[in-house]
Structure 1
Amino acid sequence: MSYQSIYAPGLFVGQTILVTGGGSGIGRCTAHELAHLGARVVITGRKQEKLDAVVEEITEDGGSVASRSFDIRDEESAVAAITSILEEEGKIDGLINNAGGQYKSALEDVSTKGFEAVVRTNLTGGFIMMREVYNQWMKDHGGAIVNIIADIWNGWPGMGHSGAGRGGMHTLTETAACEWAASGVRVNALAPGGIASSGFDTYDDKDAAFFREQAMPVIPLRRFGTEAEISAGLVYLLSPAAAYITGTTLRIDGGTPNWRGGWPLAGANNTPAYRGFHRSTVPAVLDGTSLG
C-alpha cells in the first residue's frame, strides 16, 4: 500500500517542505502525503524517537525525508534549527506550522503558568518558526506557509488557553500575508474541527464519553474527520492551484461552527470519510465511533 492522494504524482518534486510536529497525528500524515507527491520533507518535533519512526515509515514507502529534534518554543534552538536545515537542504519552499497542544480545563482552573505555556506552544513557537523561515530564506526566494489553528469560532469553552493562542495565530496569519506578499510569500491557515488523530489519545479516558455523546452529535456531517482530509487541505494551500490565495483560513470541520441548536441534525449522512492515509489508525478513545 502507498498513500492514496487525490493530487497529481510529482506535484512537489524539487521542493523542500518543513512540517513541525511531524512525529504524530496530522503532521505525520501530511509528511507522508507530501513525500508521496515528491517533496523532500523535513519533520520536526521534541522527541527524536517519534521522528525516527516516521522517517522509517516514509523511507520504507519510498519517500525522501529528514528530521530535526528541537522545541519550537525555545527561540535559540528554533533559530539554529532553521539555519542548520538550510545549510543541509539548501532551501525551504514550504512551512506547515503544525506543532501545538493543550489540555482540557475551565478557565477558572488554568494557572498563569499553564496559560502561558499553551499560548507559547500554539502561538509564540509558530511565530518564531514563521519569522525565521521568512528572514533566513523566503524573504529573498518566496514560498508558502500554512499555520494550523483550530475550531475557535464563537469561543472555545474548556480550551480557552488554546483558543487564545490559536486566535492569535489566525490574526498573525492575516498580518503576515500582507506584510510578506511583496516577497512572494503566501501565508494561510487551516482550522480543523474534530479529527480522528492520535491527538485524541492525549486526553483522559473520561473524555471518551464527551467525544461520543456531546461533540459528535453537534457536527452537521455527524462524524469526525480524518487526518487525510486535513492533509488534503494543507497540500492544496501549498500547491500552485492556491497561487492567488493568501491571508485566509480554510475550515475543515464538518460544518460544526454553523450549528446553533435551532436546526435538528439528522442521523446518518452520505458523506463518507476520505481515507487516503494508508497507515492511519483510529485513536483508542474513539474505538467503536463511526468516522463515516
Structure 2
Amino acid sequence: MHYRSIFRNDLFSGQTYLVTGGGTGIGRAVAHELASLGAHVVLAARTEENLIKTATEIREAGGAASHVVCNIREEEQVAALFERVLAERGALHGLVNNAGGQFVSPAETISLKGWRAVVETNLTGTFLMCRVAFNRHMEAHGGAIVNMLIEMWRGFPGMAHSAAARAGIENLTKTLAVEWARAGVRVNAVAPGLIASSGLDRYPEAVRPMIEQNVRDIPLKRMGTEAEVSAAIVFLLSPAAAFITGESIRIDGGGSLWRKTWEVAEHGNAPAEYSGYLEEKKLVDS
C-alpha cells in the first residue's frame, strides 16, 4: 500500500511528526502521507491494535513509523508519551492533534459523564498535548501544531458537547499562535465537514438519514475524503505555510456556508409575538 501525496517525496525527510488518533480514519491518512514524504511518524492512540496495523502498513510501504499507546486525557500518559518520543527520536518537528470523539445526542439527554468524556478528550486532551509539546521541545526548537475541529460555525445540533469543545479548541489555537510566536511555533487548525471516514461507522443506523440529507445540502454535493483533509494538514505543517498561524481551514465543500444540520419538527410553541407599537395602536383605535 503506497500513499500518493500531492507534495514532493522528500518534503519532511529526516523529520519526526506525532499524530494522535493515528491508527484509524483521518489520522491514519495523515500518518501515511507524512511517512510517504520522508518523515518518521509516531502514532499515538488508546487502542494498540489499530496503531500496530497502521505502523505495519507504513513500514511495508517503505516508510518509517513507531507507535505509543496513550490516553490524551491523562496528564501522566501525555508526559510519558513525549518523554519516550524525544528519547527515541531526539526531536519533534510537528504535532497533529487528531484524536477526539463524540456521540450523537440531543443536548437534554447528554449525561454529565458523557459531557465530561467528550470535552476532556477533545479540548483538554488537545491542550495537554500542545502544552507538553511546547514545554518539552518546541519552546527551544520551534515547530508546527495542527489541531482538529469540526464544522461547528453555526452550532452543531445533536453534538452540543463536541461543538462546545471544538469551539474551545479553535480559540485555543488562536491564543497559542500569539503566545508561542516568540518561539517560532505555528499553531493552526483544520475543520472537516462531512468526511467519508471510518468514524462514520460508529454512528447508529438511525443517524443515516440525517447524514444522507446533509450530503444533499452540501454545495459540492458529496462527502469529503480523508486524503483531502490530510493534504490540508500536511500543507499547514509544510514550509509553504511558514507565514500562516492561528488560522482554521474549512474542508467542507461549502457546507459551512449553507447547510441544514437539524430538522425542526412542526410545532406551535413559538413565543408570543411582540410589537413595540401595540399599546400605542390600541390608544389610537379607541
**TM-score (norm: length of structure 1):** 0.88
Residues in 2 aligned to 1:24 and 1:205: alpha-carbon distance in whole angstroms: 21
Query: Residue 61 of structure 2 aligns to which amino acid in structure 1?
Result: D
Q: In the TM superposition, what whole-angstrom CA distance separates every residue of 1:33-89 from its partner, at most 9, and x where no partner exists?
A: 000000010000001111000011001100000000010001111111111111111
Match of 2:143 in 1: 143
Is there any run of 5+ residues in structure 1 with no aligned partner, and where?
A: 262-292
Query: Residue 46 of structure 2 aligns to which amino acid in structure 1?
Result: R
Match of 1:25 in 2: 25
Residues in 1 aligned to 2:156 and 2:204: alpha-carbon distance in whole angstroms: 19
Match of 2:186 in 1: 186
Residues in 1 aligned to 2:177 and 2:228: alpha-carbon distance in whole angstroms: 24
Contact 2:218 2:259 in 1 (8 A): no
> Per-residue deviation at 1:229?
0.2
Query: Residue 170 of structure 1 aligns to which amino acid in structure 2?
Result: E
Q: Does 1:159 align with 2:159?
A: yes
Runs of 4+, deviation exceeding 6 Å: none
Q: Does 1:234 align with 2:233?
A: yes
Paired residue secondary structure (1:30):
helix
Residues in 2 aligned to 1:260 and 1:149: alpha-carbon distance in whole angstroms: 17
Match of 1:269 in 2: none
Match of 1:254 in 2: 253
Q: Does 1:94 align with 2:94?
A: yes
Match of 1:123 in 2: 123
Query: Residue 199 of structure 1 aligns to which amino acid in structure 2?
Result: G
Count of residues paired in the alignment: 260
> Per-residue deviation at 1:260?
6.0
Residues in 2 aligned to 1:173 and 1:73: alpha-carbon distance in whole angstroms: 18
Match of 1:9 in 2: 9
> Per-residue deviation at 1:132?
0.3
Query: Residue 143 of structure 2 aligns to which amino acid in structure 1?
Result: G
Q: Does 1:68 align with 2:73?
A: no
Paired residue secondary structure (1:255):
coil
Residues in 2 aligned to 1:249 and 1:183: alpha-carbon distance in whole angstroms: 20
Percent of paired sites with the same residue = 54
The correspondence of residues 172-251 of structure 1 with structure 2, limited to 5 A, is 172-212=172-212, 214-251=213-250
The correspondence of residues 46-57 of structure 1 with structure 2, limited to 5 A, is 46-57=46-57
RCO comparison, higher one (Cα < 8 Å, 6+): 1
> Per-residue deviation at 1:14?
1.2
Query: Residue 16 of structure 2 aligns to which amino acid in structure 1?
Result: T
Paired residue secondary structure (2:222):
coil
Query: Residue 59 of structure 1 aligns to which amino acid in structure 2?
Result: R
> Per-residue deviation at 1:205?
1.7
Q: In the TM superposition, what whole-angstrom CA distance separates every residue of 1:248-286 from its partner, at most 9, and x where no partner exists?
A: 10000000011167xxxxxxxxxxxxxxxxxxxxxxxxx
Query: Residue 121 of structure 2 aligns to which amino acid in structure 1?
Result: T
Match of 2:114 in 1: 114
Paired residue secondary structure (2:26):
helix
> Per-residue deviation at 1:209?
2.1
Q: Which of 1 and 2 has greater Rg?
A: 2
Contact 2:214 2:259 in 1 (8 A): no
Q: In the TM superposition, what whole-angstrom CA distance separates every residue of 1:209-232 from its partner, at most 9, and x where no partner exists?
A: 2211x2111100000000000000
Match of 1:40 in 2: 40
Query: Residue 242 of structure 1 aligns to which amino acid in structure 2?
Result: A
Is there any run of 5+ residues in structure 2 with no aligned partner, and where?
A: 261-286
Residues in 1 aligned to 2:2 and 2:64: alpha-carbon distance in whole angstroms: 14
Residues in 2 aligned to 1:94 and 1:29: alpha-carbon distance in whole angstroms: 16
> Per-residue deviation at 1:116?
1.0
Residues in 1 aligned to 2:118 and 2:47: alpha-carbon distance in whole angstroms: 18
Residues in 2 aligned to 1:95 and 1:158: alpha-carbon distance in whole angstroms: 29
Residues in 2 aligned to 1:209 and 1:221: alpha-carbon distance in whole angstroms: 19
Residues in 1 aligned to 2:256 and 2:52: alpha-carbon distance in whole angstroms: 37
Residues in 2 aligned to 1:82 and 1:123: alpha-carbon distance in whole angstroms: 19
Query: Residue 6 of structure 1 aligns to which amino acid in structure 2?
Result: I
CA 1:146–1:219: 2 relative to 1, 3 Å: same
RMSD (CA atoms): 0.9
Query: Residue 256 of structure 1 aligns to which amino acid in structure 2?
Result: G
